[in-house]
Structure 1
Amino acid sequence: TSRNPLRFGIHDEATIAVAFTPSAVAPPGLASLRLDLEPNGKNLLTLRDQSAHRLAIKATATPATARFTLQRNASLKLTAGSLQSGCPGLSLKALPRIFYRGHSTNNPSLAVAIDPCPPPVFRVSHAPLKKKTGLVSVAGQSQRQAIMFILDCSLSMSYGLANRDDPNKRWTTATERLGEVIKGLSTSSTIKPDVGLIAFGHRVGKTGNTINLNNEYLKKKGTPLQPEIAKDPWKDIEILSSFRPLTAAHLAKTLKDIDDLGPYGATPSLAALRIALGEFQKRRSGGIVVLITDGIYTDPDYNRKLAAIKGAMQASPGVSLQAVLFGQTIERLLNDPTVDPTIKVKDRQQALDTLLASGTGHKFHEAPQGAQLATKLAAAIAPRPYFILDRSTTNKMPRTDRQLGDESPRLQPGNYSIGYESVREIPFEIRGGEKHQFKLLRGATLRYEPPPERRHLTLPSGRFATVENGMSLICSESILVPAKDSTHSAVFTLCLVGRGEQDIVSRPREILFDIVPTSESTKPLARQKSRTTRWEIVPDRTTPTWKVTVDNWPQKTEATIQALWKSTPTPHDKNRVRVWTEVKEDGAKVAVPLPGFPRADGPPASVELKGTETLPATARAGSGSRRQLVITLTPSDRSPERASGFHEHFGRLLPELVWENGTIVADLEYSSEFICEPGSERLTVTFTWPAKLEFKPKELRVRIIPWADREKTAVRLTKPLTTRLLDADGRTGRPDDR
């Protein structure tokens, strides 16, 4: 008379009732009723009481009933570390037999099918990321691949220094310091640039309306002067040394070129800068232009020339301009009564400042005294740092500089951009644990270094699945490792990469991994095997990476991986928020959408919440140990008949702990346990509360986010990702082992 089939469910005992009704002509007497269990070779079930019942048979045809209480053994209990391999789906039979007056019955149609398996239990635990900050670095050659020095040879370079106590002239100090810098570059172990030299104002001068030629220099060099230059001092620019490595021969030639020069003519600095930038355009590289001058440029039509220089700078974004004003200061220039007022020093200086401010990495230096020139030149040719701008601030953008090859300081979560001099900046985001890597190419291009995991996209044995938005989820490793209880755990390393190699992927705000043996992937949740999943974020990776471990994994079995994530948190409904004190003391109800609800004849689905607060078993009250806040969710409807998808939705309900203002309590360690028993479902979520984090119970809230809301607008794989067979040797699961 019991239900057939008979399910134990969450209980460890079940009862079979057998009714025996004698016919009217049956003689009175005693009968023996027993229950045979088939098959029961492993003693999976036992009878709690006697195996046989004595029944009194009376002539009045009165029915007699016997009840047998069955108990399942330890390997079938919910607390078992490893269930019987047949569960779920294990089926036994119980056949009642009667012995009466020397006769025995054996009617198979009376057999009761028994499902002794407990309901599947799905456990998930997550350890929060300990590294709350991120790092970036920029590799590559120093952008000092080339340095072009421009030396002012105008007549004013023969004047004295701003410090009148220094007997040296500007020219003597400038050429000595420049020579020392170039010699230092030739012996440097860190900076190995190609070096060039340009001079201006050294061959043609002008006194009033008279053009003068530096015949002594021209005779020494023996090079004829072009007619258009001989007539115009502002065209007197000469490339004395083109870009070459600083070999002994090139060093000697450059030093001799400097020694042969002398102060003589005008100051066509802008024309010299334009020629220097043209040399960089020819070689298509980054580098630096160092202008050593003692005054403001005197080029005619300077606005047009400045615009041409700005265009050349944009064409060579890896080139940095360093203007070193020597023997003078801007303030003295602006107030010098001997300077021709038609030159308009203030306007020209402001135009130069605007030019240098049009890109990053350009700088104006002042070295009025001789002792300062060496320091300013060293700063001008020093390797330029890359910089990080914090875009999260509202009114300012704090800047952090680091040398190439060095890691940045720890960056707090937020939005940033990284750049190098006037090279185009690249935006990126830090959410904690990232280690973004960039590379500087030829001093002119900043590139994001593609994650090494991308190689799996081209490997014949690579395991990956495309995503709806064009990204890819890669399983870079899947191995089987032995556990302590002679079972095995499957360990998967999963990472998310963008559509293109240069795409920087930010870690999703919410993500869900569903990893099951392929043989289980098509079964409803209530018929799948119990499993325990642990997942964590892997820090110090250039792409979002997770490590997922699934315990009690069968050998020689493929894995089917589904993933779903969102870049922004799921919006919440304030009607699904309850105060922690209410949940803890009296419990609470929250209406949530679930498959099969609302029914036409009943209220919408609701879940009941009950909270408890405990200390771990190993802790002592008042010892400062971390507390555990436990939330248990059960459906208000206890019907064992569930609509398709009910368990998937209920098991993925997401309780969150939030503050009174709606801000989530971040970085909590948590675990969940979902007992998938139709009619008696129970989802228990345990949050581990940090010992140092204090709170008032009235300020804490419990917020429930339904699966229907989490699933909405989420990104998912276009098809499941399937791994190879996982074997205990730990090798066949690695996609790159071929």
Structure 2
Amino acid sequence: LHAAEDVRNRLFDELPACARWAADRGGESAKGLRERILRTFRNAVDQNRLPDRGQLQALEQERLTEAQRLEVKLLQLFELARQLEKELERDQVARPEELDRLAQLTREASAGLDEMASLVRDYAVQLDRRAANESAHPQPSLWRDIRDAARCPLLPAGLRSDLCRWLEQFAEMMNASWWQDYEERQAGRKAPTEKDYVERLGFRRGMWSAFWAIQTLSLAARDSVSINELWDRWYRAWREATRDHPAAGSSESGFVPVEESVLELGRMLRGEWLTKRLQVERAVRSASEDIRVRRAQLRRADRLARTLHPCDAVKLAGDDRPTPALAAFEQSELLLLQAERYLDDFWADWYQTAVEECLTAVDRLQVPQWQKRRRELASRLAGRRTAKVDVQGGPVRFGTKQRVEARLNVVPDGDLPKGLAAVWLNWDTDTGVVLEHAGRRSLRLGFADSSGARPSVGFALRKVRFDPSRCPFTFEADAHVLFRGHSWPPPKGTKAVRIEPCRPKGTVLAYRALNVPYGAVRVAGLDLRPILFVLDCSYSMDKPLPDGPTRFESAVEVLRKTFESLAAQPRLGPVREAGLMVFGHRSRKLKTDNSPVVNSHWEGKVPDAVAKDPCNDYELAVPVRPLGPQQSQRLHEWLQSLQPWGNTPLLAAIRDAYRSLSERADISEALVVVITDGQDTCDPDGQIRRRLKQMLARQHRMHKRIELLLVGFTVDEETATVLRALASELGAKFVVATGADLGRRLREATDPRPFAVRSLQTGKMYTAPLGQTCSHLPLGQYEVRFGPFQRQVTIAGGETLALELDNRGLKLLGPALKYRTATSVNGVMFGCREFHEDRRTKRAELVFSLMPQDLYSGFLVRPAEVCFRVRPLDQSGSEPPSMTVRERADETVPTWEVTIEDWPRGAGAEVQVYWKPVITPADTRAILLSELRQPQQVAIPIDATRQLTLSLSRVGDGRSSAVAIEIRPAQPAGLVPRDRDFFEHLANLRLRLARPDASAPLNLPFSRELIESEETVIYRFPALPEGVRSDELVLWVTSWHSLRTDAARLNKPLRLPRPDE
């Protein structure tokens, strides 16, 4: 019996919540099953009965989805609950043979509950897997299924949490417009029918909800209300509502009766279920002897009436109506117990009405044994008054702290019963402030305190997320009290505490340094070295190549393309120069008698010296000039007029080419490219060779760098050996070219030469073509070289040093300074490149640069320390504005972007800057960050004679990847006057982090905030290097006095006009 009552109570507790879930379920997939279920129950109700278990099992045999199986199983559990309750209403002592049936129903009900829970769990697991598989493109049907499953009360907490996370994720992916479009597309697939209009009236939804309401009501209503009558009442109301408007989808007249009938069912359900619940929850309390005797008498008479013949029962019990008398006795007891509960929780006016109603009902039942208890409760009611609880607290100010405590006093008003209360804070989430607090706090109420102090509770509040752009603002929080199972709201129009999350106004300096372990060098310009081509026009050049054209034709075509390519090269400065010298094109000696023969096809004049001696047949056809349109035309015309004819005065032509270039005073280096297919035939005694070597020696002494390239064009091995020896003797380069290789050889010779970057520390050499960048250079000093020009540079990290090649050397390509200082400081110019103002955001943006005064040889190293002081004009004595300083990457000269907040509209600027090439040593010992868990005091100089003692402590959440340090003066205010100079020393104090054994600090971004109202500076290092823990680092403290000492600074502040000027 105990097990059966336990299972019955479990069914009565869980089935109503499951019925609410089934009534709220959406989706089209279960519509067919719902129609069959409603039809089955309607037919059974017409026969004045409910469907038996066989009919429900027939429904279960169909092919159902997991969700449909849950609904059928729920109906079976309702049927088991009704049968179990019917069995328990009987007197089991009189009929012991029915215990077997009761035990069978108990086992089936318990197994059914477990199976229901298992089905819910399996269904939720399947939905979780579907959600994981379809997370990229979730469908609305999946979202509805997950929503319905999450509402089921039998769902385990872990699975419900997983499904809710999917709901949140899918809700973000499917916005309202997408959902509306989907529903419209679904609805547009077929024309609406009368069935659709009825569906839109809410008939099916209302019918389904009423069905489950009646199922729940059947657990409580046994004698007072007929289930069939409730069903018929609702059914008739629906027929009357839809009879006049069968297809009027837009009419509201047919919708109201349906809803009203469902609401009526809900009211009936509440009244009947409350009675049933009170019966189940009724506790056994002590009673007087006469109450116990009367209860025993009534129960004995009731058992006799149920088991014996009525005449015998009356004779034995002495009562002809024992069952109603027992019911009245038990109802009176229940009403008095409920009235006592209401009196204990007497905190609102509603409780007085409830107690009076209970006592009036006891009077109507007229049970003498309970009248004494009724009078006691009536006396207590007359002496009670409504109790209230007020929670009061002062304002909570965060200031510069992230964590504060809110202390609240709980003030009860009226007679308050004893108990343990839970107190918590609640505020509007639209404030933009996310606070973390410890949740609920426990508090004892109703107990006397010897000190007379009010009960209070404290809450630790920590700012998690905060939008400072909304400052200044405050918001208010309510205090909620949960006491004796009820929520005690605060008095109307009052708030428990006012929270001020904003910090006092401060000025912020944020510095973002470049922390890149490499840099780059780029050299712009062209290889302006002049080129003189020497072409062999001897008779042997007329020999054909294997692929068709002659040697001469092939060489002329390659030269023509080479000239076109040189003329088309991009240029940043002067045009490259080129010229042409030819030999052997006008005269030759016959092999028979060595007599000279002049080329009859030559259209130009042949000098007598050439006509008499073919060894004098060499000529500077086109002098070296810039490759403009006229020069290109002359070269083209000469190439068209030439033809192979004579001998090979190779050495004389080379000598004349050297002479023509060395006579040019404006040429310090040049290139001579000789194209020949044979060795010299005009220097049998070596006299020309000796003179040529003497000429080269003189040019070397004159610092003339004229390079010679000998190209042996289709030469045999013997000729190649002779030409290679000649090149070696003259300090030239020799290459062999076939018909197809000639163009490639000339391109290699005429393409821009690479510039070289050599590390002065390691000697490693890096090269890159002109116009391109030599990147990923480690930090250090380098020598940049191109031809005869060279200069030293320093790579500090993150920069791209841009140099330009011109006739004077390698020039530093510095930016244009819009405003600059009139004089240099140690050979360095400071200026402003950009000055913009955004009047909408009240923000000014400036770009500053340091440049060497001499762009060709000036040596500039990025400062290791820099301090900017930028203030609006005519406000030099005011509080410094908040600004952010960022070192700009990929610049040639040190450049900083400065962004200033709250800039006065249209104001000019006054700029002062301090910089140092090296790090200033710390004024104090290195302090381990682990020591700052407790405040540490340090003394720093503020001038030559005075010192300032500061208190340093670590603040923040203690994360090892970030560091925040708070600085306050430790000396009394009278020792150091709090003037502008004092706050300047406090604000410009520099903190650095370093490894304990390092000689230099870490180059980290930081921010400094000065709050003058609290005489506080907060330094923040937002990100430490990867793999470095904060407890492993030490802190260096450097005063503003030490930073200014020996620092370079502007002689006069730089004044900038209005940005719009």
The alpha carbon displacement at 1:472 in A equals: 3.1
Q: Distance in 2 between matches of 1:373 and 1:134?
A: 39
Matched, 1:395 2:749: no
Shift in alpha-carbon separation, 1:236–1:122, aligned structure 2, 3 A? same
Cα offset for 1:614? 3.4
1:101-140 to structure 2, matched below 5 A, reads 121-129=506-514, 134-140=519-525
**Equivalent in the alignment of 2:1047:** 714
1:551: which partner in 2? 901
**Contact residue 595 and residue 646 of structure 1 kept, 8 A:** no
Relative to structure 1, the CA distance from residue 255 to residue 203 in structure 2 (aligned partners, 3 Å threshold; closer, same or farther) is: closer
The 1:214–1:126 alpha-carbon spacing in structure 2 relative to 1, beyond 3 Å, is farther
C-alpha deviations, 1:342-384, integer Å up to 9, x for none? x9x86x655644xx6xxxxxxx3521644433321232223x0
| Map 1:283-298 → 2, pairs under 5 A | 288-293=671-676
1:694 CA displacement: 0.9
**Structure 1 residues 606-615 or 561-570, which shifts more?**
606-615
> 2-side partners of 1:479 and 1:193: how far apart?
41
**1:375 has 2:744 as partner:** yes
* Contact 1:504–1:543 under 8 Å retained in 2: no
1:642-681 aligned within 5 A: 642=976, 645-662=981-998, 664=1000, 666-676=1002-1012, 681=1015
What's the counterpart of residue 535 of structure 1? 885
Q: Counterpart of 1:512 in structure 2: which amino acid?
A: C
More helix by share: 2
1:493·1:546 contact (CA, 8 Å) conserved in 2?
yes
The answer to whether structure 1 residue 305 and structure 2 residue 671 are counterparts is no
**Which residue does 1:427 correspond to in 2?**
792
Q: Identify the residue that residue 480 of structure 1 maps to in structure 2.
A: 837
- Superposition pairs of residues 312-391 of structure 1, within 5 angstroms: 314-315=703-704, 321-327=708-714, 349-350=727-728, 352-353=730-731, 364-367=733-736, 369-382=738-751, 384-391=752-759
CA distance 1:513–1:205, shift in 2 (3 Å): same
Contact 2:954/2:963 (<8 A) preserved: yes
Give the Cα–Cα distance (whole angstroms) in 2 for the partners of residues 249 and 333 of structure 1. 32
Q: Does residue 239 in structure 1 map to residue 596 in structure 2?
A: no
The one of 926, 935, 939 equivalent to 1:577 is 926
Q: Within 1, Cα distance between the matches of 2:931 and 2:992?
A: 15
Taking structure 1 as reference, are residues 697 and 295 closer, same or farther at Cα in structure 2, changes over 3 Å only? farther
How many angstroms apart in 2 are the aligned matches of 1:538 and 1:300?
A: 59
| 3-state SS of 2:582 partner | strand
Once the two structures are superposed, the pairs formed by residues 631-642 of structure 1 within 5 Å of their partners are 631-642=965-976
* Superposition pairs of residues 277-288 of structure 1, within 5 angstroms: 277-278=661-662, 281=664, 288=671
Question: 2:471 matched to 1:471?
Answer: no
The residue type equivalent to 2:559 in the other structure is I
- Secondary structure at the counterpart of residue 627 of structure 1: coil
Q: CA deviation at 1:204?
A: 9.6
Partner in structure 1 of residue 872 of structure 2: 517
Whole-Å separation in 1 of the counterparts to 2:576 and 2:1047: 51
TM-score, normalised to structure 1, is 0.61
Aligned length: 545
Over 3 Å counting, the alpha-carbon distance change for 1:255 and 1:571 in structure 2 is: farther
- Contact 1:389-1:398 within 8 A present in 2 as well: yes
Shift of 1:489: 2.7
Structure 2 counterpart of 1:112: none
In 2, Cα distance between the equivalents of 1:694 and 1:673? 27
**SS where residue 1026 of structure 2 aligns?**
coil
Structure 2: which amino acid aligns with 1:629?
A: V
Query: CA–CA distance in 1 between the matches of 2:794 and 2:997?
Result: 25
**What SS does the corresponding residue of 2:561 show, helix, strand or coil?**
helix
Question: How far has the Cα of 1:147 moved from its partner?
Answer: 3.5
CA drift of 1:676 comes to: 4.1
8 Å CA contact 1:489–1:552 kept in 2: the answer is yes
Change (3 A) 1:570 1:177: farther
Deviation of the 1:514 alpha carbon? 0.9
Go from structure 1 to structure 2 and tell me whether the alpha carbon gap of 1:266 and 1:411 turns closer, same or farther (over 3 Å shift).
Answer: closer
* TM-score relative to the length of structure 2: 0.44
Whichever residue aligns with residue 792 of structure 2, its letter is P
Unaligned runs of 5+ in 1: 1-9, 13-78, 85-117, 357-363, 457-461, 599-603, 616-620, 725-731
Amino acid at match of 1:655: L
Deviation at 1:668, TM superposition (A): 2.3
Distance 1:11 1:134 in 2: 40
Q: CA shift at 1:176, angstroms?
A: 3.4
Quote how far apart the aligned CAs of 1:542 are: 4.2
Distance 2:534 2:514 in 1: 53
Match of 2:957 in 1: 614
Q: Does the 8 Å CA contact 2:586/2:645 hold for their aligned counterparts?
A: no
Amino acid at match of 2:1009: E
- Aligned counterparts of 1:597 and 1:636: Cα–Cα separation in 2: 18
Secondary structure of 2:741's aligned partner: helix
Find the partner of 1:592 among 930, 934, 940. Answer: 940
1:541: Cα distance to partner?
Answer: 4.0
Consecutive unaligned residues in structure 2, runs of 5 or more: 1-398, 402-467, 474-502, 570-574
Report how far residue 586 of structure 1 moved. 4.2
Change (3 A) 1:272 1:541: same
Contact 1:518-1:560 within 8 A present in 2 as well = yes
> Which structure ranks higher in relative contact order (CA pairs < 8 Å, sequence separation ≥ 6)?
1
Decide whether the 8 Å contact of 2:908 with 2:1056 is kept in 1. yes
Q: Which residue of 1 aligns with 2:853?
A: 499
Q: Which residue of 2 aligns with 1:618?
A: none
Percent same amino acid at aligned positions? 23
Question: 2:579·2:635 contact (CA, 8 Å) conserved in 1?
Answer: no
For residues 862 and 907 of structure 2, the distance between their equivalents in structure 1, rounded to whole angstroms, comes to: 30
Contact 1:151 1:198 in 2 (8 A): yes
CA contact 2:950–2:967 (8 Å) conserved in 1: yes
1:488-539 deviations in Å (ceiling 9; x for gaps): 2333222223324555754322110011234442x4xxxx436312111233
Shift of 1:290: 1.2
The structural deviation recorded for 1:673 is 1.8
- In 1, the alpha carbon distance for the partners of 2:596 and 2:921 equals 79
Amino acid in the other structure paired with 1:190? A
2:558/2:742 contact within 8 Å kept: no
Q: What CA distance in whole angstroms lies between the structure 2 residues aligned with 1:325 and 1:613?
A: 78
Relative to structure 1, the CA distance from residue 140 to residue 595 in structure 2 (aligned partners, 3 Å threshold; closer, same or farther) is closer
Letter in 2 for 1:565: W
Aligned equivalent of 2:963, options 603, 619, 629: 629
Bigger Rg, structure 1 or 2:
2
CA distance in 2, matches of 1:249, 1:433: 49
Alignment partner of 1:576: what SS? coil
Cα distance, 1:695 vs. partner?
1.6
Say whether 1:190 aligns with 2:568.
Answer: yes
Distance 2:885 2:1055 in 1: 18
Question: For each residue in 1:129-178, what CA deviation from the matched residue of structure 2 results, as whole angstroms up to 9, or x when unmatched?
Answer: 4876555544445637x5421135789x78999xxxx8799x953x3332
Deviation at 1:638, TM superposition (A): 3.1
Q: Report the Cα distance in structure 2 between the residues aligned to 1:150 and 1:286, rounded to whole angstroms.
A: 17
CA distance in 1: counterparts of 2:823 and 2:470, whole angstroms: 36
Tell whether 2:558 aligns with 1:181. yes
Q: Is the 8 A contact 1:154 1:200 kept in 2?
A: yes
Larger mean CA deviation between 508-517 and 388-397 belongs to 388-397
Root-mean-square deviation over aligned CA pairs:
4.7
Residue pairs, 1:176-255, within 5 angstroms: 176-185=553-562, 187-188=564-565, 190-191=568-569, 195-200=578-583, 214-217=596-599, 222-226=605-609, 237-243=618-624, 245=630, 247=632, 250-255=635-640
